[in-house]
Every structure is written in structure tokens, then in C-alpha cells.
Amino acid sequence: MGVQLLPYSNLIEINKHSAVPIFKQVAEGIVFLIRNGKLKPGYQLPASRDMASMLKINRTTVVSAYEELRLEGWLNVIERKGNFIAQELPVIHPKPLEPLAAKGSKQQEDSNFYKKVAARQVSKRTLSPHQLMINDGYPDARIAPLESIYDRYKFLSKRVHLHSRLLNDSAAGSMSLRTELALFLAKTRALNIEPRHVMVTHGAQLAIFIAASLILRPGSTVIVGDLNYVLADRLFEQMGAKLIKVKVDENGIDVDEIENICKKSPPGLLYIIPHHHHPTTVTLSKERRIKLLDIIRQYRLPVIEDDYDYDFHYENSPILPLASADHKGYVIYIGSISKTLAPTIRLGYLIAGDDLIWQASVFKQMVEIRGDVLFEESIAHLFNTGEMQRHLRKSVKLYKERRDMFCDMLNSCVGNLLHFNMPNGGMAVWATFTPEYSIPDLARRLAEKGIFMNDGSLYRYKDDVNGIRLGFASLNTEEMQKFIGALKECR
């Protein structure tokens, strides 16, 4: 089959009663298409016979039109190949998109038909693929069972007879994956759930968005940590919510302050990361957890519990999620599969009552009819065969070793440069630098050595913070040595 051609019969209007010759009408029609960007430089026009057939005119008329265009510089004729739109066209002045209007101008007032995104300026730098990147806490994709996922995906993609059955799953996600997640979370987190309580999302961030969309109204208040996961804060602000910031210390978020806020005026939502709080990595103490559950029940306080890396705990047993206790249905639990495998594996999940999951599925379908069902089935297969559980055990062992090594290197080589507490879990160290050291300046000097480190601008919305998350899980010994050595030289 040949290349699909543009519908020239609809694009070029021929008026046989016009005083303008038909070949001229064809030539002007083609120039109009070039000027409007529908025909790009280098594009091959149909053969004269094919164009004549589409326009229902004589072939010699098309030949005359093409010759006219060639003489005017619109076409190049390549022998035995055909007629092509010229790479360098006669003078054209295409109208660009309107520039941003000056602040406060009448033009700006007229153009305010869309919402502005609530975001702070952060520095942007590009990296070549071979340079070292210090992320804020990602898993090492090099040890993930990606081949198993691809093999299963390939297997399922060839079973065409399965496709219609798989597509019958709801917007809540593949039933196989929802079933496996319900079993896994019941065993590892003591969540009393069934598949109907689970919704699969394209990453945990989408799960936060969906949950917040169902709860918040413009003007709602949201309690968050004074240092908090930045993208969650921005999302709530974009929805028109007001943030109430509560102090986070070594025992987690200040629950007494949450209680005081609830006594005065119950907020619309509490967003909390009780395990390995982002960015500080601290864990909510047992005492505060018990009191917070009482507050949730007493004030009927809706909660989004973001438990993005629960599985990665290195000392003793992790505390159970708030969602595992009696919370009267007010806690929405969110987790990430991306943090288990690799950043590019965009899968998360939302756990809640079955009615909320149904409502969330209806909402999700408005922006994403369904996820990648074959991919979700492939991940479900990992859980079903036990490969995911084996990968987790291997990862926890490796990341604990890397945490210990990384913290030892920091202490011995640059201990006078920064302060940190060894995290009990997670994939990053929260490091605060002494005031005389500028993180942006360190980041610039590291970049000259081919190493990317965030400049800390994400966290400087709080005046007294001179800190950054240093991810260790994705670094092998050689990469750690390279980074610590470069950091020592740059101090």
C-alpha cells in the first residue's frame, strides 16, 4: 500500500467558472497550503496523474501548475523522483504565536483565559547521558527485573484473544494487578482490603491528584509539613487550596499543632508522609501516630497518607500505616511501584473505601480512559510469581549496604561541610549544609566536573533551610567515591 495522501480535493478549491485559469488556481492552492504549514519543505507532492485524479481535472493542467510553482521557487524537481516543496522557499513571513503580554497591560487582561500554574522558579540544567546524577532518592534501575516485565508484555501482546477481555477491566486498573496488590499490602502492611478497594494509577503523583480532586474545593485548607513534598504542595495550591504549614521535627509532624488547628477550624485535608518524610526522611513516632488517629476520628479529618517507599526500611520493623488502623474511612492510602522498580516505571496505587474508589475511577476516566493494561498485567505477573518480592528483598539488602557506605563516606570526607542523621529507611539522606556554604555554588562547581546535584532551590521556600536530599540507592561504590571526592574538592 502506498503512502496515505492528503485530501487535496478538500484542500484545493477549483472554480471552473472563475476567470482565473484552473492551473493558476491549483498553484495558488498549493502555495496557500505551504504558507499555512500544511505542506512542509521537502514534502513530496503527488504525481501529476494522481493529483489530476483527486482534483478531477486534466493532467496537463496539473503539469502546468507544477511548472508555475517551479518557476516561482516553490518546488524543486528531482529527476526520476518527483516534485518536492523547496527547502528554501520564496520570502514567507509566518505569524508566530503571540508573545507574552506585558504585566498589567490590556493585552494581558484579554489573554487571561487560562489558569497560571502554581510553581516556583528552579534552576534548569541539562546533562549528557554519561554524566553522574545525584538524584533525591530513586531506586537503581540496573537491578530491576525489567527483562521479566518486557518478556511478559511481549507474551501478552501476542495473545490477541486476551485483549478484549483485558480491556473490560475498569478505569481502576487491571483486576489482576489490583488483586495482587490487595494480597501484597495485606501481608506487608496489615491493610484489611480487597481488590475493590484498590485503584491503579500512572504513578503515585496521579493518585494524589485524584484523591485531592475529590476532596478539595477552592478555598479549602490543607495541613502540610513546613518542609514538605513540593509537588504535592504545588498541586494543592493549583486547586485553589490554602496551605497550613505545621512544623516537622525528628519525631515527624507536630500532631499537637494539628489538634489545635482542628479545634479552631477543621481543615479540608491533611497530607502526611509518616514514613521517611519527604524531604527530611524522619518517621512519625508511635505516640504521635496514636494521637493523630484519635484526631482523625474525632474531627472526621480527611487524610492523604503518602507512603511512597514503605518497603525500604533498614532498622527493626517499620511502623504500620495509619490506613492499617481504625480510621473510620477517612485515610486514603497512596503508594508507589515506581519506587520499587525504576523512575521510568510509572505506576502507583490508591487505597480507599469501595465507594471512593468507584468515584475516583469515574474521575480518572475523564483524563485517562484506562492505563496500559498489558503493562499492568505484566507487573501483576511479577507479584504472582514472587519475583517482585524477591527483588524487594534483594533491593533492601543492597540499599542498606549503600546507605551505610554513603553515610560513612560523608562523615569521614565532608563531615565539617554538612550535617545529617542516618535515615532508618528510604533512598536518600537529608543533608543540611553549614551557613557559609552555598548549595547553588557547590552545584555549579560540581557541574563543571560532570556531576549533577540539585541546587537546593526546591527547599529554600523556608528561609532557614540550607539543605538537600542526596540519593544513595542508585549509586554504586565507584559512583559514590566520585561524588564524595568531587564534593570534597569543591568545598
Q: Which residue has the higher pLDDT, 94 or 146?
A: 146
Highest mean pLDDT among 29-43, 241-255, 309-323, 438-452 belongs to 241-255
CA 387 – CA 167 distance, rounded (Å): 25
Cell numbers found for residue 316? 527493626
Exposure string over 152-178, b if 16+ CB within 10 A, otherwise e: bbeebeeeeeeeeebeebbbbbbbbbb
Final residue of a structural domain among 343, 368, 387: 387
Q: Classify residue 284 by its DSSP letter.
A: -
CA 434 – CA 452 distance, rounded (Å): 20
> Residue 228 domain-assigned?
yes
Amino acid of residue 297 = R
Examine the pLDDT at 92 and tell me if it is beyond 90. no
367, 421: one domain: no
For 408-424, write each residue's pLDDT tens digit.
999 998 878 899 999 99
For 222-240, write each residue's pLDDT tens digit.
999 999 999 999 999 999 9
Beta carbons of 348 and 209 less than 8 angstroms apart? no
What's 195's domain CATH number? 3.40.640.10
> Residue 101 domain-assigned?
no
Cell numbers found for residue 250? 525528628
Examine the pLDDT at 138 and tell me if it is beyond 90. yes
What is the pLDDT, as a whole number, of residue 104? 59
What is the pLDDT, as a whole number, of residue 2? 43
Examine the pLDDT at 356 and tell me if it is beyond 80. yes
| Block residue for cell numbers 484542500 | 11
Exposure string over 61-79, b if 16+ CB within 10 A, otherwise e: bbbbbbbbbeeeebbbeee
Percent of the chain with pLDDT over 70: 89
273, 400: one domain: no
346, 202: one domain: yes
367, 485: one domain: no
Percent of the chain with pLDDT over 90: 66
What's 46's domain CATH number? 1.10.10.10
Examine the pLDDT at 115 and tell me if it is beyond 80. no
> Residue 94 domain-assigned?
no
CA 207 – CA 339 distance, rounded (Å): 14
46, 23: one domain: yes
Q: Is the peptide bond before 279 cis (omega within 30 degrees of 0)?
A: yes
| Block residue for cell numbers 503518602 | 306
What is the pLDDT, as a whole number, of residue 152? 93
245, 333: one domain: yes
The average pLDDT across 402-410 equals 96
Examine the pLDDT at 463 and tell me if it is beyond 60. yes
351, 217: one domain: yes
Final residue of a structural domain among 321, 353, 387: 387
What is the pLDDT, as a whole number, of residue 5? 73
**Residue 275: burial class (beta carbons within 10 Å; 0-12, 13-18, 19+):** buried
What is the pLDDT, as a whole number, of residue 372? 85
The average pLDDT across 180-200 equals 96
pTM across the whole model: 0.77
Q: Element (H or E) spanning 253, and its range?
A: strand 252-253
Q: Which residue has the higher pLDDT, 106 or 325?
A: 325
245, 332: one domain: yes
The average pLDDT across 429-440 equals 90
Measured from the Cβ of residue 10, the count of other Cβ atoms closer than 10 Å reads 8
- What's the domain range around 59? 8-85
> Residue 120 domain-assigned?
no
Number of compact structural domains in the chain: 3
Final residue of a structural domain among 387, 413, 444: 387
Write down the mean pLDDT value for the chain.
88
344, 209: one domain: yes
335, 427: one domain: no
> Residue 251 domain-assigned?
yes
> Phi and psi at residue 373, in whole multiples of 5°?
-65, -40
Measured from the Cβ of residue 260, the count of other Cβ atoms closer than 10 Å reads 11
253, 362: one domain: yes
> Residue 106 domain-assigned?
no
What's 453's domain CATH number? 3.90.1150.10
